[in-house]
Structure 1
Amino acid sequence: MATEATFTVPSEQFPLGTIFEQLPGVSVELERIIPARDVVIPYFWVRGVAVDDIEGAFSEHPGVKQIEFVDSVDDEYLLRVQWAVDYDDVLTTLTETKVALIEAIGTSKQWTFEIRGDTRSDIATFQSRCRELDIPITLTELHALTPVETATELTDKQQEALVLAFEWGYFESPREVTMEDIGDELAISEQAVASRLRRGIKQILGSTLTDVTPHSR
């Protein structure tokens, strides 16, 4: 049975975490991962700060070959990174074990990854490989894949976070508050805020769009 898992990694243990040394208030979110034969090249967003040289905010790291600015919208920057294939980290381990990355969000405190395996043993294999490479992951959630059709109601915590984010202007452009502000109000971490917002929005979309005819590609 397909299985989803959530795990965390200390911010400094992931190559893109070097940005937090200069810009501790930003968040970084991987948008897409493209597995290739010899390298993984994802796009990622940097949010929560306006700087003239966003590429320069990243310090050199042995896991990164190159970072290239692509585009920006208000205080959000889209960049592309080329990873070093000989550096063992979470992404290379995911590619090696053929576990799919659904989402990854990083802050100055930690990185939170959501992954999916075809079976529970795929997740176990990924964990074992991380232990072999001394990659300090902490598993925080493990569950069977949930069909989108069943996600019809928000939990109380998801609704609380979404209402607060909406009322405080988190969804405005530019944003009027940060995830840290929301987390301080709710007495939870930024990662917990991100998870509640993401899952809440996913549930809303799942319950409202399931009957919509998908667009052809």
Structure 2
Amino acid sequence: MATEMEFTVPAEEFPLGSIFENLPGVTVELERLIPHETLTIPYFWVRGAETGEIESAFEPHAGVTDIQLVDNIEDEYLMRAKWVREYDGLLTALSATNLTVLSGIGTVDGWRFEVRGDTQEAIAEFRTHYLENNISIDISMVHALLPIQGDSFELTETQREALVLAFERGYFDTPRESSLEEIAAELDITQQSLSSRLRRGHRRLISETLITP
């Protein structure tokens, strides 16, 4: 059964977090990971920067090389880097166990990841890998993807909770009757986590109801 896991790691545990040394106010969000021969190429957004010299803001790290600016929209910068697979860190653990990274958002306070494994065994293998390599991880939630009311599409319990509460509080109304901040406070999670749950829940519902295979 497909299983999703949410966890946090300290800012310095993930090599892209080296930017927080020079720009502590920015937010970094993974866009996608592309396997390429002996490397993995992460694309990611850096938001909240006030400098055009954003490439030089990253401190040298053994896990990443060749960080380049791809594009920018006002104070949002799309970057890419080369991830050295031999570096035995978090991304290596994710790649080795074939988990899909659904979201990864980092600030100076730490990183929050949401990943999915096709089976519970894949999640267990990932946990074994990071424990053996002394990677500091704090797991906040593990949940299986479950059918809702007999339909074929699947949502996690947290995605369903976020979508239903947002609907009940009038977040989807025009004009809106509540904000992300208010709903996140009610769920006792960050606005970024709520936004991720709503986005992924919408994607799942659309893919299962509006898209023809």
Task: Give the TM bin, normalised by the shorter chain.
Answer: 0.7 to 0.9
**TM-score when normalising by structure 1:** 0.78
1:1-217 matches, cutoff 5 A:
1-146=1-146, 149=153, 154-156=163-165, 182=181, 186=185, 192-204=190-202, 206-207=204-205, 211-213=209-211
Contact persistence 1:41–1:80 (CA under 8 A)? yes
List per-residue Cα deviations over 1:158-179 (Å, max 9, x = no partner). Answer: 976x68xx97xx9xxxxxxxx9
How many angstroms apart in 2 are the aligned matches of 1:57 and 1:69?
12
How many angstroms apart in 2 are the aligned matches of 1:104 and 1:158?
25
- How far residue 146 of structure 1 moved from its aligned partner, in angstroms, is 4.4
Unaligned regions of 5+ residues in structure 2, if any? Answer: none
CA distance 1:196–1:131, change in 2 (3 Å): same
How many angstroms apart in 1 are the aligned matches of 2:70 and 2:57?
15
Q: Which amino acid aligns with 2:122?
A: D
How many angstroms apart in 1 are the aligned matches of 2:137 and 2:111?
10
CA distance 1:81–1:159, change in 2 (3 Å): farther
Q: Which amino acid aligns with 1:21?
A: E
- How far residue 93 of structure 1 moved from its aligned partner, in angstroms, is 1.1
Paired residue secondary structure (1:33):
strand
How many angstroms apart in 2 are the aligned matches of 1:4 and 1:201?
15
CA distance 1:14–1:202, change in 2 (3 Å): closer
Instruction: Kindly report the root-mean-square deviation, in angstroms, between the aligned alpha carbons of the 2 structures.
Output: 3.1
Identity between Structure 1 and Structure 2 (%): 41
Q: Which amino acid aligns with 2:165?
A: D
CA distance 1:206–1:88, change in 2 (3 Å): closer
Contact persistence 2:69–2:80 (CA under 8 A)? yes
Contact persistence 1:159–1:200 (CA under 8 A)? no
CA distance 1:86–1:76, change in 2 (3 Å): same
Contact persistence 1:7–1:137 (CA under 8 A)? yes
Contact persistence 1:158–1:196 (CA under 8 A)? no
How many angstroms apart in 1 are the aligned matches of 2:122 and 2:36?
20
Contact persistence 1:3–1:120 (CA under 8 A)? yes
Aligned residue for 1:174? none
- How far residue 50 of structure 1 moved from its aligned partner, in angstroms, is 2.7
Q: List 4+ stretches of structure 1 deviating above 6 A.
A: 157-160
Q: Which protein is richer in strand relative to its size?
A: 2
How many angstroms apart in 2 are the aligned matches of 1:188 and 1:211?
27
Q: Which amino acid aligns with 1:83?
A: W
- How far residue 210 of structure 1 moved from its aligned partner, in angstroms, is 5.2
Unaligned regions of 5+ residues in structure 1, if any? Answer: 171-178
CA distance 1:208–1:88, change in 2 (3 Å): closer
Contact persistence 2:4–2:144 (CA under 8 A)? yes
**TM-score when normalising by structure 2:** 0.79
Paired residue secondary structure (2:36):
coil
